[in-house]
């Protein structure tokens, strides 16, 4: 392990938490305004800053303020996130290299340079994660939770696991030889495999076989010994029982390996006669897409590594990752399911929003309040958004329901209510985004099911992903049709709503209703006449220019002697033009507070460039997913929330919706949330000018716990008001 990784591990373990800096940055930048992109010294790498986010997640795994199983969960999250990064980002960069692209990004790197730097960072992160996991296993053992290799089991335990393997797994295992009569077998994405070298007892000529480890439904990666919390990896059991697969043969070597395939296989929509068929074709292609990474254990022989690299058309030195310990650490998530509440965060039950009492129609509640702010997971998704759809589906006064669908859960209550609405004679239209990465197959299934019950299904606008989260319900309220809308920052996915921090607005604002009607007319036709939007800021039409104009307004206010203030809570800041606008506003003296979860191109605190910019990243038990934008405006404050991040793809090639929040009560709730996150010294990582992050180690509660406490306090206050006896009259008789 390198000295750099050891130093990082020491810092994280002893309290001074610091992630790696961005590579190749100058200590100082020339004076004057930042140039138009490209200007690599001013703009950090999208890929490398995202990998720094993975470092921060790994940092949560060694933070002893987090419960032990939560720390293990963070290790699993790192593993899953890196798999996706390699599939999407490394896969996309390799596609560019294959196409001969040599253009530099705004951070001054060609695709080849980005790949090299990302692979170096991945190796460092792999080494560090392994070190963290070794330390975690020692702590888990203190609670009798152990991952035990086969060689450390006693004979009785080995017999138990062998018997279980023979009875429940062995019939599913298929060894595949590799020789002149048996070509190299197909290896599926992210599958775990054994590469076995063996020979006949009377011969010394090596033979090769590949054995897939059949982890899947009802077959866990970690096999549990009866009556204990001790587990042995399935691949370890298989390695030590190869006599069942190869009776009478001598096993010379056996090593696990794992492959990652390119997930970037998008076709050309403009030339597709049938978008659904094109997406289905892409899914088939992805299954057989080029392999972009091989992971293997250190016990793999050098000639076997060369063989894998050759068969998969990879550069052995660059693309084959030798890793200590367990491959595919995302599978450790199964240990988190152990019934040990004392090793997890305290149980959290979302509250019911007090503005949505159950003793009246949700539509009446929205009318009474005008607009209601929802904050998940502190407030229940089921008793707000799902209830909104459920009542709409059953209400005889509801005439139509329209919504966008980007991701939803496997047992989706949202889908069930849309189907119910159609069966109840409502007009139902759903815009399904078939290109939601890794959810394409599920969305195709949902689209087919919805069409089967007569729902009008469309797939958005050619060339644009539909990423906005909106529902429109049209209801006959006495003598008029009234439009009720939900606009959110998160997907209509009940599972995500329990673990992702998102905002949403339920409103009957007529101007917003008209705008959302216009939006759906655009989404269901793709026609692009001049559309007049009164309230919402849609992308790609208006949002980017509107955000830049708001940033420039703060700079003008500052130059005129005012106090400019910009606060953005987003998942990513990647767009170079937005970044440059923020730099210029900072040079004018505007204070800029950025809460950016992962990717951030901007360098804060650089003298003469970004001295007034402060960047922090919040990590905790919930994934921060909300997007909120605040501009002081010289007293004419602007609060916005919606689905868009400050990324080029969101602003220019996706349909997004951002909506202003105008009611004082809702603004106060957004202000409270922003203030808590900006004051947090427990969950915040502070970004340095060199691209690294430093975390303080306060023992106080983090902002997420304070928001849980706030939600519970609001419920108690609402209950107290409801239980208060009515006032008696005080007039004279």
Q: Could you tell me the CATH number of the domain that includes residue 317?
A: 3.30.1840.10
Q: Which two structure tokens, joined as six digits, stand for 211?
A: 């054995």
Q: Find the range with the poorest average confidence among 18-32, 245-259, 318-332, 476-490.
A: 18-32
Rounded Cα gap, residues 479 and 493, in angstroms:
35
Rounded Cα gap, residues 288 and 282, in angstroms:
10
Q: Do 332 and 145 contact (CB within 8 A), yes or no?
A: no
- Shared domain for 543 and 522, answered yes or no, is no
- Shared domain for 512 and 545, answered yes or no, is no
- Shared domain for 507 and 561, answered yes or no, is no
Residue 240 has pLDDT above 80, yes or no: yes
- Shared domain for 288 and 157, answered yes or no, is yes
Judge whether 40 lies within some domain.
no
Mean pLDDT of 281-302: 83
Judge whether 450 lies within some domain.
yes
Residue 271 has pLDDT above 60, yes or no: no
- Shared domain for 172 and 309, answered yes or no, is yes
Predicted pLDDT at 10: 53
Mean pLDDT of 538-547: 96
CA 442, 443, 447 angle in degrees (round to 5)? 120
Mean pLDDT of 445-461: 87
Rounded Cα gap, residues 61 and 52, in angstroms:
15
Rounded Cα gap, residues 290 and 606, in angstroms:
41
Nearest CA to 445 out of 415, 470, 402, 400 is that of: 415
Q: Which residues pair with 685 in a beta bridge?
A: 617, 695
| Phi and psi at residue 153, to the nearest 5° | -80, 150
Nearest CA to 79 out of 297, 295, 317 is that of: 295
Predicted pLDDT at 523: 92
Residue 489 has pLDDT above 60, yes or no: yes
What domain count does the chain have? 3
pLDDT category at 9 given cuts 50, 70, 90 is low
Nearest CA to 78 out of 110, 105, 39, 51 is that of: 51
DSSP state of 729: P
pLDDT cut 90: percent of the chain above it: 79
Mean pLDDT of 19-30: 86
- Shared domain for 514 and 632, answered yes or no, is no
Judge whether 623 lies within some domain.
yes
pLDDT digits (tens, 9 = 90+) for 375-387: 999 999 999 999 9
- Shared domain for 427 and 455, answered yes or no, is yes
Last residue of a domain, one of 495, 514, 532: 532
- Shared domain for 515 and 621, answered yes or no, is no
Q: Domain range for residue 646?
A: 539-721
Exactly one of 240, 375, 467, 493 is catalytic; name it: 467
Q: How far is CA 155 from CA 141, 161, 236, in A?
A: 21, 10, 15
Predicted pLDDT at 83: 96
Judge whether 387 lies within some domain.
yes
Catalytic-residue membership of 467: yes
pLDDT digits (tens, 9 = 90+) for 357-402: 999 999 999 999 999 999 999 999 999 999 999 999 999 999 999 9
Three-class HEC string of 244-292: HCCCCCEEEEEEEEEEEECCCCCCCHHHCCCHHHHHHHHHHHHHCCCEE
Helix/strand/coil for 391: helix
Residue 726 has pLDDT above 70, yes or no: no
Rounded Cα gap, residues 687 and 600, in angstroms:
9
Predicted pLDDT at 69: 98
Last residue of a domain, one of 484, 511, 532: 532
pLDDT digits (tens, 9 = 90+) for 565-574: 999 999 999 9
Largest pairwise CA distance in the chain:
115
Q: Which two structure tokens, joined as six digits, stand for 532?
A: 């007049």
- Name the average pLDDT for the chain: 91
Last residue of a domain, one of 299, 319, 336: 336
Residue 732 has pLDDT above 60, yes or no: no
- Shared domain for 303 and 157, answered yes or no, is yes
pLDDT digits (tens, 9 = 90+) for 35-86: 888 888 999 999 999 999 999 999 999 999 999 999 999 999 999 999 999 9
Residue 8 has pLDDT above 60, yes or no: no
Mean pLDDT of 617-631: 97
Give the gyration radius of the chain's Cα atoms: 28
Predicted pLDDT at 270: 47
Rounded Cα gap, residues 332 and 74, in angstroms:
10
Mean pLDDT of 182-194: 92
Rounded Cα gap, residues 403 and 396, in angstroms:
19
- Count CB atoms within 10 A of the CB of residue 424: 14
The enclosing H or E element of 309 equals: helix 302-311
Q: Do 241 and 151 contact (CB within 8 A), yes or no?
A: no
- Shared domain for 522 and 628, answered yes or no, is no
Residue 691 has pLDDT above 70, yes or no: yes
CA 446, 447, 449 angle in degrees (round to 5)? 65
| Phi and psi at residue 676, to the nearest 5° | -65, -40
pLDDT cut 70: percent of the chain above it: 92
pLDDT higher at 463 or 629: 629
- Shared domain for 326 and 282, answered yes or no, is yes
| Residues present in the chain in total | 733
Mention every residue, 6+ apart, whose C-beta is less than 8 A from residue 237: 150, 161, 162, 165, 223
Judge whether 589 lies within some domain.
yes
pLDDT category at 733 given cuts 50, 70, 90 is very low
CA quadruple 31, 34, 38, 44: dihedral sign: positive
The gap between the terminal CA atoms of the chain, to the nearest Å, is 89
CA quadruple 645, 650, 656, 662: dihedral sign: positive
pLDDT category at 724 given cuts 50, 70, 90 is confident
Helix/strand/coil for 434: coil
Q: Do 427 and 464 contact (CB within 8 A), yes or no?
A: no
Predicted pLDDT at 720: 78
Judge whether 657 lies within some domain.
yes
Mean pLDDT of 604-629: 97
- Shared domain for 450 and 399, answered yes or no, is yes
Judge whether 94 lies within some domain.
no
pLDDT category at 272 given cuts 50, 70, 90 is very low
pLDDT higher at 408 or 62: 62
Judge whether 75 lies within some domain.
no
Predicted pLDDT at 420: 96
Pairing of strands 398-405, 654-660: unpaired
Torsion of CA 245, 248, 252, 255, to 10 degrees: 10
CATH number for the domain spanning 491: value is 3.30.870.10
Q: Do 340 and 69 contact (CB within 8 A), yes or no?
A: yes
């Amino acid at each position: 392990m390198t000295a750099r990784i050891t130093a990082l591990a020491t810092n994280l373990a002893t309290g001074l938490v610091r992630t790696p800096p961005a590579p190749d940055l100058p200590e100082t930048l020339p004076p004057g305004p930042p140039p138009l992109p490209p200007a690599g010294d001013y703009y950090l790498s999208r890929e490398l800053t995202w990998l720094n986010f993975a470092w921060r997640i790994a940092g949560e795994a060694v933070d002893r303020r987090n419960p032990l199983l939560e720390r293990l969960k963070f290790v699993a999250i790192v593993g899953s996130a890196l798999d996706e990064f390699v599939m999407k980002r490394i896969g996309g960069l390799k596609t560019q290299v294959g196409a001969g692209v040599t253009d530099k990004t705004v951070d001054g790197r060609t695709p080849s340079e980005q790949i090299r730097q990302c692979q170096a960072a991945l190796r460092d992160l792999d080494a560090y994660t392994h070190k963290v996991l070794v330390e975690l296993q020692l702590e888990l053992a203190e609670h009798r939770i152990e991952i035990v290799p086969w060689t450390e089991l006693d004979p009785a335990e080995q017999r138990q696991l062998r018997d279980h393997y023979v009875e429940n797994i062995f019939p599913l295992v298929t060894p595949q030889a590799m020789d002149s009569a048996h070509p190299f077998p197909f290896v599926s994405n992210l599958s775990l495999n054994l590469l076995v070298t063996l020979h006949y007892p009377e011969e010394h000529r090596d033979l090769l076989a590949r054995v897939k480890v059949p982890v899947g439904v009802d077959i866990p990666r970690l096999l549990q010994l009866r009556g204990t919390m001790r587990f042995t990896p399935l691949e370890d059991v298989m390695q030590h029982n190869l006599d069942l697969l190869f009776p009478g043969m001598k096993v010379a070597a056996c090593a696990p390996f794992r492959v990652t395939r390119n997930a970037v296989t998008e076709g050309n929509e403009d030339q597709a006669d049938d978008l659904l068929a094109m997406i289905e074709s892409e899914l088939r292609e992805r299954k057989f897409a080029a392999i972009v990474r091989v992971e293997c254990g250190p016990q793999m022989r050098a000639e076997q590594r060369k063989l894998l690299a050759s068969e998969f058309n990879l550069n052995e030195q660059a693309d084959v990752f030798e890793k200590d310990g367990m491959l595919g650490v995302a599978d450790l998530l199964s240990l988190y399911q152990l019934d040990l509440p004392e090793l997890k965060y305290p149980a959290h039950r979302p509250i019911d929003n007090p503005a949505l009492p159950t003793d009246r129609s949700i539509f009446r509640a929205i009318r009474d309040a005008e607009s209601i702010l929802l904050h998940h997971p502190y407030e229940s998704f089921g008793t707000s958004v799902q209830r909104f759809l459920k009542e709409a589906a059953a209400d005889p006064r509801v005439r139509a329901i329209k919504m966008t669908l980007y991701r939803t859960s496997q047992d989706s209550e949202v889908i069930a209510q849309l189907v119910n609405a159609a069966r109840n004679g409502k007009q139902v239209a759903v815009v399904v985004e078939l290109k939601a990465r890794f959810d394409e197959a599920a969305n195709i299934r949902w689209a087919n099911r919805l069409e089967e019950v007569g729902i009008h299904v469309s797939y958005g606008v050619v060339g644009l992903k539909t990423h906005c989260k909106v529902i429109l319900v049209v209801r006959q309220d006495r003598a008029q049709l009234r439009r009720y809308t939900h606009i959110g920052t998160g997907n209509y996915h009940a599972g995500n709503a329990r673990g992702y921090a998102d905002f949403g607005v339920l409103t009957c604002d007529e101007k917003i209703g008209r705008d959302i009607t216009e939006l759906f007319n655009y989404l269901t036709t793709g026609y692009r006449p001049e559309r007049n939007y009164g309230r919402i800021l849609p992308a790609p039409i208006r949002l980017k220019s509107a955000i830049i104009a708001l940033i420039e307004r703060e700079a003008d206010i500052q130059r005129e002697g005012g106090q400019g203030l910009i606060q953005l809570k987003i998942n990513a800041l990647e767009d170079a033009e937005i970044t440059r606008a923020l730099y210029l506003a900072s040079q004018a003296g505007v204070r800029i507070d950025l809460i950016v979860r992962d990717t951030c191109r901007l360098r804060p605190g650089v003298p003469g460039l970004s001295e007034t910019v402060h960047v922090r990243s919040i990590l905790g038990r919930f994934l921060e997913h909300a997007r909120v934008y605040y501009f002081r405006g010289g007293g004419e404050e602007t609060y916005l929330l919606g689905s868009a991040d400050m990324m080029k793809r969101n602003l220019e090639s996706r349909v997004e919706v951002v909506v202003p929040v105008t009611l004082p009560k809702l603004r106060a709730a957004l202000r409270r949330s922003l203030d808590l996150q900006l004051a947090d010294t427990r969950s915040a990582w502070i970004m340095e000018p060199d691209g690294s992050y430093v975390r303080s180690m306060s023992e106080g509660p983090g902002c997420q716990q304070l928001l849980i406490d706030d939600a519970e306090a609001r419920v108690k206050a609402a209950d107290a008001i409801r239980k208060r006896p009515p006032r008696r009259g005080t007039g004279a008789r």
